[in-house]
Amino acid sequence: MSLDVASKDYWSEISRCTIRERCQFVFNNHLLSDVKFVVRGSEGGSESMKKIPAHKFLLAISSPVFYAMFYGELAEKKDLIDISDCDHKSLLELFRFLYSDEVNLNADNVMQVWYLAKKYMLPSLADKCSEFLRQNLAASNVFHVLPDAHKYDEKDLENYCWEVIDKETDEAVKSDGFVTIEKSVLEELVERDSLNVREVELFKAVNSWATKECEKQGLAAEGSVKRRILGERIVKAIRFPVMELQEFADVVLDCDILTKKELFDLVKYFSSVLKFPIGFCEATRPGSPQRIKMSRFASKGKGWHYSAGRRNSIVVSADKTIKLHAVRLFGSKNKEYSVTLQITDSNGVALATKTGMFVSELIQCERGDYPGFDIAFEPPVALQAGIQYSLEASISGSPSWYGRDGLPRVAHAGVTFFFANKSGADTTFSAGQFPELLFTVC
């Protein structure tokens, strides 16, 4: 009797000294195979079915599920087994592990291999998947991992997911996976004190989730519909009172999720008519970043003019790395200004540019109220400790207020800022524009 090619190859390698090496040889090999798994594959964009040869005995001694499938009381008699809940590459990695104790995990297959490891009761493979996920967990994928970590009762991984969410909330809630989470996860999220996110950004994310849920259910994404989908538990967990009036007006009012009574009471709270908000927590989340306002002028004056060729620039640095959320500029009461504000690093590279029309309004400041407006940056601009940056504003409009008696060094909230004059600029560290910086400490 002649041996086929596969047999010859096997027997030519008989010097392999371990059972592991011999099992590796017959992995995905028709030699001695007594069962084939039919599973979907995807090549060239079109679906196609593929067959994976396997060996019942090897599968059965590794997995109680395969043992029951092939040797139990209701053992499968067919030699073709259809598997519909995974793809070819993921099942192949499962078998690779059974034949060799090795597995090639990556971002594309780990979730499905993890599912198969749980399905076929392979705890050692499941542990490898969990460890891979832990090592590669980030804000961008945490909401893809968290639901399965909960479903599979992987407490350590689930807790680590929440740690990542707490630490990098702002990025996590803007990821693609956020709008896919279950309502129960969203409820748990918005009730956490430890979130590291501004409340207005959390509300934006919740609103996006509700909008996506309306699309899934074929409903109009109207405020009342989103309110019903979200439910009172989620809406009441948003801490609207800690928002600033301007961002509340710009973001929350237009969404129409709050009732007229809630809006009325919150506006009265922002206006100091109500001492306590009704129905909403006014305490800032302990884990959230606090936007700090740094004022650099001791006094103010009126009559700062804008004309062609006049420059408003300043050089700034800090002794700690910060995120710059907004730069405040002076204006005059209810006047409109056309502004282009640019932030550049010490090499002249532009880090951010903001252009628009802005209307000044009364800004409350511990050193005296003044008319002005914010130039906000989203995302905030990271300013590294010890590096000089230039703020340059091109402004046109009515004469405005301006700052006086500024200092080259200002310490505030544990951060020391240093200001220097820009050659040829009208604004200096002692007088002119840029009265306040709004920042968080990294």
Q: For residue 358, how far is the Cα from the chain centroid?
A: 30
Q: Cα separations (Å) of 309 from 236, 305, 396, 401?
A: 51, 11, 11, 19
Q: Is residue 74 part of a domain?
A: yes
pLDDT value at residue 418:
96
Do both 296 and 415 map to the same domain? yes
Residue 91 structure tokens: 């099942």
Taking the model in full, what pTM does it have? 0.67
Q: Is residue 186 part of a domain?
A: yes
Residue 157 structure tokens: 């991984």
Identify the helix (H) or strand (E) that includes residue 79.
Answer: none
**Cα angle 187-189-192, degrees, rounded to a multiple of 5:** 110
Q: Is residue 377 part of a domain?
A: yes
Q: Is residue 204 part of a domain?
A: yes
Do both 331 and 432 map to the same domain? yes
Q: Cα separations (Å) of 120 from 53, 64, 102, 252?
A: 18, 7, 16, 48
Q: Rounded distance, CA 433 to CA 327, Å?
A: 10
Do both 356 and 390 map to the same domain? yes
Q: Rounded distance, CA 359 to CA 250, Å?
A: 14
Identify the helix (H) or strand (E) that includes residue 374.
Answer: strand 370-383
Q: The domain that contains 46 carries what CATH number?
A: 3.30.710.10
Q: Which residues pair with 359 in a beta bridge?
A: 336
Do both 262 and 357 map to the same domain? no
Do both 436 and 305 map to the same domain? yes
Identify the helix (H) or strand (E) that includes residue 19.
Answer: helix 19-26
pLDDT value at residue 161:
96
Render each residue's pLDDT in the chain as its tens digit; 442 residues.
Answer: 344 555 556 655 555 568 788 888 888 888 888 999 999 886 644 468 889 999 999 999 999 999 999 998 887 788 899 998 899 999 999 999 999 999 999 999 999 999 999 999 999 999 999 999 999 999 999 999 999 999 999 999 999 999 999 999 999 999 999 999 999 999 999 999 999 998 999 999 999 999 999 999 999 999 999 999 999 999 999 999 988 888 898 899 989 999 999 999 998 888 878 877 788 988 888 877 777 889 999 999 999 999 877 889 999 999 999 999 999 999 999 999 999 999 999 999 999 999 999 999 988 877 788 999 999 888 889 999 999 999 999 999 999 999 999 999 999 888 999 999 998 899 999 999 999 999 988 7
pLDDT value at residue 10:
60
Residue 220 structure tokens: 């109009």
Do both 296 and 223 map to the same domain? no
Do both 302 and 178 map to the same domain? no
Q: Domain of 242?
A: 155-270
Number of separate domains in the chain: 3
pLDDT value at residue 45:
44
Q: The domain that contains 421 carries what CATH number?
A: 2.60.120.820
Q: Rounded distance, CA 328 to CA 374, Å?
A: 4
